[in-house]
Amino acid sequence: MNKAIEIVDLSVKFPSRGGFVEALSHINFSVETGQVCAFLGPNGAGKTTTIHVLLGFLAATEGMAKIFGEDVRKSIARQRIGYLAEHPDTYRFLTGREALSITGRLFGMTGRTLQSNVNAILAMLDMTSAANRKISTYSRGMMQRICLGQSLINNPDLIILDEPTGGLDPIGRMNIRKIIGRLRDEGKTIFFSSHELSEAETVCDHLVIISSGNIVVSGAINKLIKPGENLEKYFMKTIQTAAIHD
């Protein structure tokens, strides 16, 4: 299989008083195309830092990161990515349809192609009935979905989601799970961080766990978790073992 994400010996250091703080320490992992990969770890483990390197927001101190074989420092690598931030927001004076249309135009879409893509995204998000309402009237879950729609308007091959169900009620989480499942069925690669372990377990087939800037587990979830064990128990055991060895 081809690699959607490839990270090799990657380190990130931030300047600090009297020296530096190492946010990532020579990490290595990859995600194959078509996989749904859960990227898990406690707060401060390095999840968002890793995502920001992949998106080109942050330069690595050492090592390499590639998207579909292209160095993330090249703009071409980011043309195949859709991204949903941890706390998404958009222009609230627009309607949902307008927000998607403007985003589509940024990708060079016009006319019937743009209209068709916007309608398809609205239908997938179950947002057609609210498409012409101002975003300022949306609930948190609706805001999450329309911002996810903006990240999908260019039909990306890799979707990166930072805490996509954070702060949502059970219905909102269920909606995001359904969307991830549909994207997986379409052959998209999905890489998402989450603290909602039960949610992650229902949708992911690959697992990467990071602790204190180090990758401690990477592999297929059905090979890592034993029968009768759930992801929460496996995660806690893995993090506790990593803390002992730090």
Q: What is the CATH number of the domain that holds 102?
A: 3.40.50.300
Question: Does the pLDDT value for residue 216 go beyond 80?
Answer: yes
> In which band, very low, low, confident or very high, does the pLDDT at 31 lie, cut at 50, 70 and 90?
very high
CA distance 95 to 124: 17
The C-alpha angle 209, 210, 214, rounded to 5 degrees, equals: 135
Q: Which amino acid is at 163?
A: E
Distance CA 71, CA 76 (A): 9
Q: What is the mean pLDDT of residues 201-212?
A: 93
Q: pLDDT tens across 56-78, in order?
A: 999 999 999 999 999 998 887 77
State the Cα–Cα distance between residues 114 and 112, nearest whole angstrom.
5
Rounded to whole angstroms, how far apart are CA atoms 203 and 140? 22
Structure tokens at 201: 């377990």
Is beta strand 19-32 parallel, antiparallel or unpaired with respect to 3-16? antiparallel
Cβ–Cβ < 8 Å for 62, 52: no
Assigned token pair, 87: 């706390």
Residues 6+ apart with CB under 8 A from 101: 114, 118
Q: What is the mean pLDDT of the chain?
A: 91
pLDDT confidence of residue 53: 95
Q: Could you list the residue range(s) of the whole structural domain that residue 81 is in?
A: 3-245
Q: Could you tell me if 110 and 135 are in contact, meaning their C-beta atoms sit under 8 angstroms apart?
A: no
- Asked if 43 and 50 count as a contact pair (C-beta separation under 8 A), the reply is no
Output the pLDDT for position 244: 72
pLDDT attached to residue 245 = 64
Q: 135-172 burial string, b = 16+ CB within 10 Å, else e?
A: beebeebbbbbbbbbbbbbbebbbbbbbbbbbebeeeb
- pLDDT tier for residue 117 given thresholds of 50, 70 and 90: very high
Transcribe 174-197 into DSSP letters: HHHHHHHHHHHHTT-EEEEE-S-H
CA-CA distances (angstroms) from residue 213 to 28, 41, 133, 162, 173? Answer: 11, 9, 43, 17, 28
Domains: count for the chain: 1
Summarised one tens digit per residue, pLDDT across range 122-174 is: 998 889 999 999 999 999 889 989 999 999 998 999 999 998 887 778 888 88
* Least-confidence region, from 92-96, 169-173, 234-238: 169-173
Task: Report the DSSP beta bridge partners of residue 13.
Answer: 22
